[in-house]
Every structure is written in C-alpha cells, then in structure tokens.
C-alpha cells in the first residue's frame, strides 16, 4: 500500500483547516474593526475641527459686521484671529467674503498676497451657493500627505456673508491607523502561532486513534488480525475504535471460517476422482481441479478465463446460454481409432434466489471403462447365445432325424447319437467354463493355496501330456534342477497349464516342437510355453485373453474350443498375484509367458 505523505495527511489538513478558520475569523474581525475604527477616528477628527470652526465663525462674524472706524483695523484683527486658530493639525485658515468671493484673510504668514484676490476654490463657491458645508480628503502635492479641506458658510441674521476655508493635516489619523494595523497584525500572528500549536496538539488527540485504525486496516489487508486499536477515550472516536476492534475480531473469525471452508473445498476438489470445472456468469473458467485438467489434457494455468464452450469443444454445438438450459448430461467422445475415451459431463447452474445466474458447475466422469464393459457385456451375451445356439441347433436337427426313423438305421443311427453326445459335452464344457468365470468374478472366490515345488509340479503336468500327445510333436524342457517353492492353488494352476499346453498342441504342425522353460528372476518365477504353430497377428495379440475371442473362429470350433480357456487362465494367474501375456510371430509360432510371486532360494544348476 502506498504511504501517505505528510502534506497529504489528515493531521496536516486538520491543522491547516483549524488555522485557516481562525485566520479567516480574525481577518473578518480585523477588517471590520479597522474600518470602524478608521471611520470613528476620522469622524472624531472632523467633529472636533467643526466645533472649533463654529467658535471661529462666531468671532469672525463679529469682525465682519462691526462698523468701520477712522483707522480700520478689521483685516488685522481677522488675520490675528485666523493665526491664533491655525494651531496643531490645522495648516491654513482662510476667510472669504460673499458674494464677491474675495479672500479677506489667511492664517498663512507667507501667503498674505492672496488677500484681496478672488478665491478659485470650487468647494467654497459650492458652500456659498448651497449654504452647506463642503469637505474632501485630498493629497497634498507638496509632501504627499493626506489633508482635509473644509468650506463652511458664515451666516449673520440668516444671511450668508462669507465662508471659512480650513485645510487640516489628517495624516496623523492614518498614522494612528497604521500603528493600530501593525499591532493587530502582530496580535494575529501571535494568535495564529498559538492556534497552530494548539491545533497540532488537538489534531494529535483526534488523529492518533485514526492513525492506529489506518495501521490496523493495513495490517488486516495483509491478513494480520492480531493488532488492536488503542482506545483513548469514550467519545465518538473511542466508540469507533472499540467498534473497529470488534469488527477486526469478527473479520478474523469470518476469515478463519472461510479459510477452513476453502481448505475443505480445495481438499475435496483435489481428492475427487471426478473432474470439476466452475465458471463465472459469463461462462469463463474460474476453477478447475487436477482430475478435470488431466481428463481434458490441459494445464490448469492455461485454461483459466477460457470460455467453457471452447474448453469442452462445444463451439459448434452449444453456446453458454444453451448450456444453462441443458437438463441431462452430455457425452463427450474423445475416442481415437485405437484408443476409446469417453466422458460424461453433468451440468449444474449456480443461481441466486432472485434467479440471477452466477455461473455453471461442470462435473466430468470418465465412463470409458464403463462403456467398454457394457460393450463387452453385449458382446459376451451375443457370443454365449451364438455358442449355445450352434450345438443346440445341431442337436435338434440330429434328434429330429433320429425321431423320424434314422435311429433304426444300424449305420447312421449310432453316428447321429455320437454327434448329439459330442455337442452335449461341448455345451457342458461351455457352461462349466461360464460358471467358473462367474465364480471368479464374484467376491466370494477363494484360492486354496499351499506350498508347491513348481519344478516338479510343471514336470508332472508335462509328463501327463507327453504320454497322450501325438508322436510327431516334440517336447523340449528347460527346467532348473533345484526346487522352486511357490504358494499356489494346485488345481487352479493345473487348469491354467493344461489349457496353455492344450492350445500349443492344437496349433502345432506335424513335426513341430513345444518348448517348456522355467526360471526364477527378481522375486518371481517365469514359465514359458512356446509352440511352432500358425502364430497370431500382431493386432490381435492383446485380445486373445478376452472372453470368446478367437483368431480363427472356424478352426477353433472345429477343434472344440470355447474361446474361454485363456480368459480363465488370465483370471486365475491374476488371482495368484502374477501376470500372463503372449508373444507371437505370424507363421512361426506363439509363446505364452506367465509369472508368479516367488521368494528366492539358493541357486541350482540348469538342465
């Protein structure tokens, strides 16, 4: 998570907001205070001067209205009165006579030349005409200071007889305001400094628990729920801190529950033999377990986010919306010419109570073996029916002929009876073989094992066949001289060896040779019986142990075979914990090899 800079932190923002609020408040107060103070000072200054002007006006009216004597001293008296009045902030005082607008006196000693001249001041003319005071604050061109010019009409017996024109230095008032502004600015700076310090302290008390909660939130995002937010008080922030701690505890419990469920789900998905695929609401793969990936021959990492219709090769048959409507399972046939491979896909829609579709669950089952078993079962029933129908049809034909009178024929009658007897024995062998296979397929099948010297055991079986074999077939034995003791069911293993030797004799040509080999190696004994018969085509070699399978059906039936001998041999050898297989070269013979578990003993010499 990106670290928050100091200039972006809530601590600084809080202090800045606090200081800015104080600054704005003080500025508003300062502006209002300065403006009101300035107006008050200017008003007081002007009021004070106007009072003095009123007194001056009374004295000047008396001088302007008194009778002139032989020695007229009126101008001197007026000048003296004006000079005495021009003190402190008053720069100059002039007296103007109406209606001639002549200046009859001035307080400025260096400007007595204007006496007797007509005044050019507009505000004096306006005051005389309007009979009202006229005043303005101006800038003195000589020194740049602010001055206040006042023109006040003088009346005698309700008649305007002249005007007093005063120029006063009002700069002192503004100097006072400047001093007051400096004091106010200094006070504002001090107040802001103290406010900022207090704001920092106050912000720390507020932001400290918020900072703790931020650290806790970061730790929670990383999966650490062990931290707790310190509660500094029981105000709103303290209540928030306690609530945050409760939330942390509940999240920890919820995460533990979710993690437990996730692990259970992962374990279930991992150890399921069926393949499971889950999609989102757009039909893209979000979960696929290892069995599903193996069934489809894909990598889990590469198929995530891939559309389910593409993954299952439904692009030409289904859309995702159509898959949501499928109620039955879908058969996926990935079989090749030589390898059958069939999957069944069961679909389940993930849907909320409101009907909103969240995704789709696809469960894959490998039904290749089941389909193969069903096919074998159908083929088995067909073969049994065929094997039973042939001798039954033959027997019915011969029995009907016997019933029609052939039985009384001394030559043909016994032949027909012999054929019926042969077919009956054939059916008995077939039924016995079927019963034996059925018993071996059942769970109640048990072997009666005992320790047997397999060298002697195999030799006795070979001896028995050598006594009954055709003279033009040779037996060659390659057997060890030592005893090889194995734990077997003697009757069952005798049946296996008898069946293999019988097949070897059936298919051996005139003058052929059957080679018997026995040896022990790597904790097992190996028995090999090889003939020089017609051999088996390579494409049929793996099927000879299937039930009712015949390479040459016509010849096998002619020789009396049921097609179950090698199937029974395989079941028995497997029941002993061994293995059996065949090698063959067409036209040169066939070799049947079987192995049995063996505990090695001292080595002996070979014969």
Distance CA 195, CA 16 (A): 10
> Is residue 541's pLDDT more than 90?
no
Task: Provide the CATH number for the domain formed by 11-176 in this structure.
Answer: 3.30.450.20
Is pTM, for the whole model, over 0.75?
no
Mean pLDDT of 399-404: 79
Residue with more model confidence, 473 or 420: 473
The whole-chain average pLDDT of the chain stands at 80
Are residues 139 and 112 in contact, defined by beta-carbon separation less than 8 angstroms? no
Handedness of CA 217, 221, 222, 223 (dihedral sign): positive
> Is residue 558's pLDDT more than 50?
no
- Where in the chain are all domains bearing CATH 1.10.287.130? 371-441
Are residues 526 and 520 in contact, defined by beta-carbon separation less than 8 angstroms? yes
Are residues 114 and 104 in contact, defined by beta-carbon separation less than 8 angstroms? no
49-63 pLDDT per residue, tens: 888 888 888 878 877
Distance CA 241, CA 234 (A): 9
Q: Which of 451, 394, 381 is nearest to 427 (CA)?
A: 394
| Topology annotation, domain 371-441 | Helix Hairpins (1.10.287)
User: To the nearest 10°, the Cα dihedral for 267, 269, 274, 275?
Assistant: -150
> Is residue 555's pLDDT more than 60?
no
- pLDDT category, 121, cuts 50, 70, 90? confident
The pLDDT score that the predictor gives to residue 313 is: 85
331-354 pLDDT per residue, tens: 888 888 778 888 888 888 888 777
- Where in the chain are all domains bearing CATH 3.30.450.20? 11-176, 272-361
The pLDDT score that the predictor gives to residue 463 is: 87
- pLDDT category, 2, cuts 50, 70, 90? very low
CATH architecture entry for 450-597: 2-Layer Sandwich (3.30)
- Where in the chain are all domains bearing CATH 3.30.565.10? 450-597
Mean pLDDT of 93-100: 84
User: pLDDT exceeding 90 applies to what percent of the chain?
Assistant: 5
The pLDDT score that the predictor gives to residue 441 is: 62
> Is residue 355's pLDDT more than 90?
no
Mean pLDDT of 359-386: 77
Mean pLDDT of 482-497: 87
Task: Provide the CATH number for the domain formed by 272-361 in this structure.
Answer: 3.30.450.20
The pLDDT score that the predictor gives to residue 601 is: 56
575-605 pLDDT per residue, tens: 888 999 989 888 888 999 999 998 775 544 4
The pLDDT score that the predictor gives to residue 4 is: 47
Range scoring the smallest mean pLDDT among 161-165, 331-335, 425-429, 502-506: 425-429
The pLDDT score that the predictor gives to residue 384 is: 67
């Amino acid at each position: 998570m990106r670290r928050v800079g100091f200039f972006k932190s809530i601590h600084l923002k809080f202090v800045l907001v606090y200081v800015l609020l104080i600054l704005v408040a003080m500025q508003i107060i300062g502006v209002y205070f300065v403006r009101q103070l300035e107006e008050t000072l200017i008003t007081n200054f002007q009021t004070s001067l106007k009072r003095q002007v009123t007194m001056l006006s009374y004295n000047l009216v008396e001088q302007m209205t008194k009778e002139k004597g032989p020695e007229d001293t009126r101008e001197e008296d007026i000048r003296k009165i004006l000079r005495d009045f021009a003190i402190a902030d008053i720069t100059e005082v002039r007296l103007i006579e109406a209606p001639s607008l002549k200046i009859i006196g001035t307080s400025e000693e260096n400007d007595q030349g204007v006496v007797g001249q007509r005044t050019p001041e507009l505000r004096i003319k306006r005051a005389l005409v309007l009979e009202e005071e006229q005043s303005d604050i101006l800038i003195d061109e000589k020194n740049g200071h602010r001055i206040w010019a006042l023109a006040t009409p003088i009346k005698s017996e309700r008649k305007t007889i002249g005007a007093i024109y005063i120029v006063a230095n009002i700069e002192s008032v503004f100097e006072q305001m400047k001093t007051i502004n400096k004091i106010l600015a200094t006070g504002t700076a001090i107040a802001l400094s103290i406010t900022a310090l207090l704001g920092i302290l106050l912000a720390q008390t507020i932001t400290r628990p918020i900072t703790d909660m931020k650290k806790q939130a970061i730790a929670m995002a990383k999966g650490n729920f062990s931290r707790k937010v310190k509660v500094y008080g029981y105000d709103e922030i303290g209540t928030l801190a306690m609530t945050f701690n409760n939330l942390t505890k509940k999240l920890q419990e919820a995460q533990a529950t979710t993690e437990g469920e996730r692990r259970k789900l992962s374990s279930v998905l991992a150890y399921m033999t069926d393949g499971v695929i889950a999609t989102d609401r757009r039909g893209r793969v979000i979960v696929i377990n290892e069995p599903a990936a193996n069934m489809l021959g894909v990598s889990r990492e590469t198929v995530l986010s891939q559309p389910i219709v593409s993954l299952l090769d439904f692009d030409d048959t289904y859309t995702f919306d159509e898959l949501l409507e499928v109620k039955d399972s879908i058969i996926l046939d990935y079989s090749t010419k030589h390898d059958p491979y069939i999957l069944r896909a069961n679909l389940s829609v993930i849907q909320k109570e409101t009907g909103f579709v969240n995704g789709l669950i696809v469960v894959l089952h490998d039904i290749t073996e089941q389909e193969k078993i069903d096919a074998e079962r159908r083929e088995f029933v067909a073969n049994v029916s065929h094997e039973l129908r042939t001798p039954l049809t033959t027997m019915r034909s011969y029995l009907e002929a016997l019933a029609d009178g052939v039985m009384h024929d001394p030559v043909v009658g016994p032949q027909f009876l012999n054929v019926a007897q042969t077919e009956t024995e054939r059916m008995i062998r077939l039924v016995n073989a079927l019963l034996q296979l059925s018993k071996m397929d059942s769970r109640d099948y048990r072997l009666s094992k005992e320790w047997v010297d397999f060298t002697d055991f195999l030799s006795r079986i070979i001896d028995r066949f050598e006594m009954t074999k055709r003279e033009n077939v040779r037996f060659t034995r390659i057997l060890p001289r030592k005893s090889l003791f194995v734990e077997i069911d003697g009757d069952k293993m005798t049946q296996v060896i008898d069946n293999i030797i019988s097949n070897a004799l059936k298919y051996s040509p005139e003058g052929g040779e059957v080679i018997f080999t026995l040896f022990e190696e790597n904790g097992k004994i190996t028995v090999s019986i090889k003939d020089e018969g017609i051999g088996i085509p390579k494409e049929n070699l793996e099927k000879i142990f299937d039930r009712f399978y015949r390479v040459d059906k016509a010849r096998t039936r002619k020789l009396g075979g049921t097609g179950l001998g090698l199937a029974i041999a395989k079941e028995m050898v497997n029941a002993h914990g061994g293995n059996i297989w065949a090698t063959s070269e067409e036209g040169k013979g066939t070799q049947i090899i079987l192995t049995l578990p063996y505990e090695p003993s001292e080595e002996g010499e070979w014969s």
